[in-house]
Amino acid sequence: MKQEALPQEHWDHVIESKTSLWDLKLREVWQYRDLLFLFVRRDFVTVYKQTILGPLWFFIQPLLTTITFTIIFGNVAQLSTDGAPQVVFYMAGITLWNYFSTCLTSVSGVFNANAGIFGKVYFPRLIMPLTIVISNLMKFGVQFLLFVGFVGYFTFKSQIAPNSSIVLTPFIIVLMALISMGFGLILSSMTTKYKDLNQLIGFGVQLFMYATPVIYPSSSVPQEYAWVTDLNPLVGLFDYMRYAYLGVGDFSIVDLIYPSVFSIVILMIGVLVFNKTQKTFMDTV
């Protein structure tokens, strides 16, 4: 009697132990988009769930930082603000810097912070860095509305003059997200093997702030140190913020070419390094 052939099995998903370095599985990330949104919602709800002031901290933190910078750097150190009101000048820098620094430090610790869940269930590991960038984007949006409120106030008093360049704001935010994520992915891959980096990252980010025009205009940098700002991809983004919303400083669309190219390159390097590290990081974490 002839035996009937068994039906061929079809699997919805196959997990392989060995994959190519260039196999980024971006289609998988899209398939797990519901999980991404779930993590984003979790981060937004749980961070301030047991605090008294809750989401008000989104406003309190930049306000207190702006007041501190105004007193110390504006009045005591008397740093230049290119003629713009000190409060709105410092808030422009703080709003962008908070988003960049928070994304960078959080993404850099993504392996150590999520080792438990990574070791129990499979999903594209790139979901976690994307969650951090999107979650902090919501926080940035709240702080940006506060900044826009101050811009409206000083515009009404005719102390600043915003211009049509503000239409490029979404593009600037995307560049900031890509650069912070690229650096963060590289550092996250290094911290799985070199634990000392966890202690140095926070300190290094603080030092990097002083190489970025957060508390001073790039026009005030002495000529002999201009090469430092020329290498910094964030300089053009901060110059744009103050030129577009405050009407101070110099800015040209050409200034965005370098940070645009840099953001793509650093993100590609970061994703490739992250993709290589995620295969063996459980052996070192």
Tell me the pLDDT tens digit for each residue of 50-72: 555 566 777 888 899 999 999 99
**What's the pLDDT tens digit per position in 229-271?**
889 999 999 999 999 999 998 888 888 999 999 999 999 999 9
Is the pLDDT at 120 greater than 90? The verdict is no
* Poorest-pLDDT segment among 53-57, 182-186, 222-226, 245-249: 53-57
Is residue 238 in some structural domain?
yes
Q: Can you tell me the mean pLDDT for 180-189?
A: 91
Is residue 169 in some structural domain?
yes
Residue with tokens 């970025």: 212
Is residue 38 in some structural domain?
no
Tokens for 285, please give them: 């974490």
Tokens for 225, please give them: 């140190």
Q: Can you tell me the mean pLDDT for 123-145?
A: 89
* Torsion, Cα of 106, 111, 114, 118 (10° steps): 150
In this structure, are residues 102 and 136 in contact, taking their beta carbons and an 8 Å threshold?
yes
Confidence of residue 154 (pLDDT cuts 50, 70, 90): very high
Q: What is the pLDDT of residue 200?
A: 85
Q: Which domain holds residue 76?
A: 54-283
Contacts of 38 (CB under 8 A, 6+ apart): none
Is residue 273 in some structural domain?
yes
Cα 225–231–234 angle (5° rounding)?
105
Q: Can you tell me the mean pLDDT for 147-156?
A: 94
Is residue 30 in some structural domain?
no
Q: What is the pLDDT of residue 22?
A: 52
Residue with tokens 């620094």: 101
Q: What is the pLDDT of residue 145?
A: 92
Residue with tokens 């990081």: 281
Q: What is the pLDDT of residue 17?
A: 53
**Number of domains making up the chain:** 1
- Cα(247)–Cα(244) distance, integer angstroms: 6
In this structure, are residues 98 and 140 in contact, taking their beta carbons and an 8 Å threshold?
yes
Is residue 33 in some structural domain?
no
Is residue 31 in some structural domain?
no
Is residue 180 in some structural domain?
yes
Q: What is the mean pLDDT of the chain?
A: 84
Q: Nearest Cα to 110, choosing from 1, 34, 164, 188?
A: 188
Q: Nearest Cα to 86, choosing from 112, 61, 104, 66?
A: 66
**What's the pLDDT tens digit per position in 139-149?**
899 899 999 99
Q: What is the pLDDT of residue 14?
A: 58
**What's the pLDDT tens digit per position in 72-103?**
998 898 899 998 999 999 999 999 999 999 99
Q: Can you tell me the mean pLDDT for 172-182?
A: 95
Residue percentage of the chain with pLDDT more than 70: 85
Question: For residue 72, which phi and psi values (nearest 5 degrees)?
Answer: -75, -55
